[in-house]
Chains A and B, each alone.
Chain A
Amino acid sequence: MILQALEEECSGCLACELVCSLVLFKELNPRKAAIRIRGEFPAPGAYRIACCDQCGDCAAACPHQAIYRKASGYWIDPDKCRLPCTLCADACPRDAIFFHADVPHAIKCVSCGQCVRYCPTRALVDKDGKVENMAPVWRNAR
């Protein structure tokens, strides 16, 4: 699965952040998610989505080999990650590596597809077309 964000569809609901924190930590905490939504209001009235497309630049930049290739993408090995290094975040072209004071390693998308499945506006899609959006299409009402 390759995550792709269609920012113009996003409603800023944070369902993606919530489900992601459940996937990664079994906790409800948008600030531990591997995807982040940021509003630009009042003008232009847009949402920016920072998310990972598994390009691997972080893995190349990590001096501790803490980011490794799995079938579904690049994963962080919490035992190898040595904070406060953060070189992966510097290398990420999409600002999609995150940190939280209570988490001893970098936080990164594992390409599970949950956010794609549950995004209510279909603003997140799988470029590979394998993970299905569960939300209905209603935008064409415009």
Chain B
Amino acid sequence: MMPGGYWNAILRVDLDRGAHWITSTGEALARGYIGGRGFAARLLYDELVPGTDPFGPDNPVVVAPGPMTGVFMPNTGKVTFAARSPATGLYGDSNMGGHFGLAVRMAGYDALVIRGRASEPSVLVIDDGRVRLLPAGDLWGLGSFDAEVRLKEKLGEDFQVAVIGPAGENRVVFACISHDFGRQAGRTGVGAVLGSKNIKAIAVRGTRSLPVANPRRVMQVGQRLFRHIFSLPGTASWTPYGTAGVTTLINEVGALPTENFRRGTHDHWQELTGETLRRRILVRDKGCTACAIPCGKYSRARLDGTERYVEGPEYESMALLGSNLGMARLEEVAHLNWLCDQLGLDAISAGAVASFAVEAFERGLITRQDTDGRKLAFGDYESLAWLMEQIAYRRGVGDLLAGGVRHAAQALGGGSDAYAIHVKGLEVSGYEPRNTLAMLLSYMTCDIGAHHNRAWAILHDIEVGRYKVEGKAEKVIELQHLRPVYDMLCVCRFPWIEVGFGTEHYAEMLSAVTGEPVTWEHLTHLAERVWNITRLMAIRDRPGFGRADDLPPRRFYEEPVEGGPAHGHHADLADIQRLLDRYYQLRGWDENGHPKPETLERLEIGPPAFARRPAGAG
């Protein structure tokens, strides 16, 4: 029997044929992979045939909420978008808040799997059981905000909309998916995959009650845990500033990426704090479904007579569009943030790509001939805003940069790969890690490329010593097994990491929903399985994938950082190799980073479904 919390229904959409149907979720997927990122990993493992072009019709886009999405318990507002990433060529996913996941669940689905390519620009409209493609010629070309407004006018306020901007249409490999005027599935370019399918937006309206096993129990547990999270001191101290509350600390420890990761401290860091945001530009606090600690800081910033509404800038945007671009004014960062959101660019990668371009300009690899005579410079809002547009529309030098820093460095040559700050083709997010080895290892081994939140280890480095090697691989793995639990359940991790809401609550929360007993240990065991499955996909999808792909950018072990508490230091390559050795050993992987047969056996992963079918079938 299916556990509670599931519809036992996955909506399949074939855009080539304009057809849709439902397949059952099944107990094995539900119990073995829970939902969200777990579903995405297993479904892509089973259905993504190696060699599939990320922009080809056969690259499936998986949209997966989890069994907890939208339940009355603290912070249940998440949904996962996944596909083969055009940025990395590997499994890619991104997690988004807002109310989109709730709508998918209320429409009656455990997940959506979208394949093929629509014959014209279209919106996929899901209205409970009614699914159709709406021609979207009038929306194609619109910015994300404008398209969301237009679609809600057209379909109704009660539709939840996930939309791409021009960057997604133009297949910029770091194009995001936007929702609720400020929430994004930012990383790994799933927005570009939707664009390659001619899908401008997915609009969902659901009216059904969530399929939880025991609503009374959900209510009791929800009431108790809301009261508990309300009582934690962190709730009152963290919530006013949200993620940007961390800027001060990160600058202090020298990890605030500045001017393309040359430095870890920024002269104008005070412009980038949650406190400054709240004082100067805040309109209101904004939350996702059932959020007890609304971190969304919806703002209005005026710059040269133009006023922009934007959610944020949150910490990552403060770092990548702020310090890493050398910006000295919050309002300029907010406007760059608005521009990225409107164009449909992941603010993290867009900021990192722009900072790479500035450095390449300084070193003469990009010249005024490439920039319509402009000078690209850190801190220069005008030229950087111009650059974002060039990228989103793939104009001139923007076309080169639209492939991400790895691609741009390959094309530019001239040693620019030394300052192309990425791992596996995904740009490094908001922590300068060369003097914090756990954080560095976290970036190196992250399955989707250099993303911080799979294992946010920087505080551990500060606690135990930056350059200490012992125990760091253990810590990173511990964090890497914790995080997928949140992503499988589709709940927010901030209650845990920021306000001290303990991991011990989640087994109880899930079992109220499913009606089945479960333990936290079991959930982290499933997380290990997810971690190995995405590794297996990398190995099978990219011939030669292995240890070399886990190495960080050279800047982090060749160039000393300028300024800050770790001034003059960088990571040591021998330490990095030791960290990797230990990490692989603990994971049960060989020295090239490939899971050993006994590891796969222990985790009961098995062969992918496509390999079990006879060639040419289904």
Contact = CB atoms under 8 A, between A and B. Distances in A.
B287 A12 contact: yes
Interface string A49-65: 00000000000000000
Interface stretch (B49-57, B291-299, B352-360, B536-544): B291-299
Contacts, number: 133
Given A28-B218, A42-B181, A134-B227, A11 B285 contact: yes
Given A8-B284, A29-B209, A22 B235 contact: no
Contacts of A139: 240, 285
Given A11-B291, A15-B226, A22-B219, A32 B209 contact: yes
A21 to B, nearest CB: 7
B410 to A, nearest CB: 38
Interface string B279-305: 100111111111111101010100000
A141 B278 contact: yes
Given A11-B294, A18-B72, A141-B278, A43 B285 contact: no
B137 to A, nearest CB: 23
A142 interface: yes
Given A22-B72, A26-B216, A120-B230, A11 B209 contact: no
Contacts of A141: 240-241, 278
Contact of B294 (A19, A39, A121, A136): A121
Contacts of B284: 8, 10-11, 45-47
Q: Which of B227, B287, B300 has the most CB of A within 10 A?
A: B287
Contact of A31 (B106, B219, B222, B285): B106
Q: Which of B149, B223, B237 has the most CB of A within 10 A?
A: B223
A85 interface: no
Contacts of A47: 284
Contacts of A25: 209
Interface of A: 8, 10-15, 18-19, 21-22, 25-32, 38-39, 41-47, 100-102, 117-118, 120-121, 134-139, 141-142
Contacts of B293: 120
Nearest to B296: A11
Interface in B207-247: 207-210, 212, 215-216, 218-219, 222-223, 226-227, 230-231, 235-237, 239-241
A19 B610 CA distance: 43
B204 to A, nearest CB: 13
B27 interface: no
A29 to B, nearest CB: 4
Contacts of B294: 11, 13, 120-121
Contact of A22 (B215, B236, B240): B215
Contacts of A142: 240, 278-279, 282
Given A27-B209, A138-B239, A18 B215 contact: no
B157 interface: yes
Contact of A19 (B216, B219, B296): B219
12 contacts: A11-B291, A13-B290, A15-B226, A15-B291, A19-B219, A28-B72, A31-B106, A42-B149, A45-B298, A118-B223, A134-B230, A136-B231
Given A41-B180, A45-B283, A45-B298, A19 B72 contact: yes
B45 interface: no
Contacts of B231: 136
Contacts of A135: 230, 292
A13 B215 contact: no
B99 interface: yes
B494 interface: no
Given A30-B102, A38-B157, A142-B278, 10 more contacts: A11-B284, A13-B292, A19-B219, A30-B106, A120-B226, A121-B294, A134-B227, A136-B230, A139-B240, A139-B285
A79 to B, nearest CB: 22
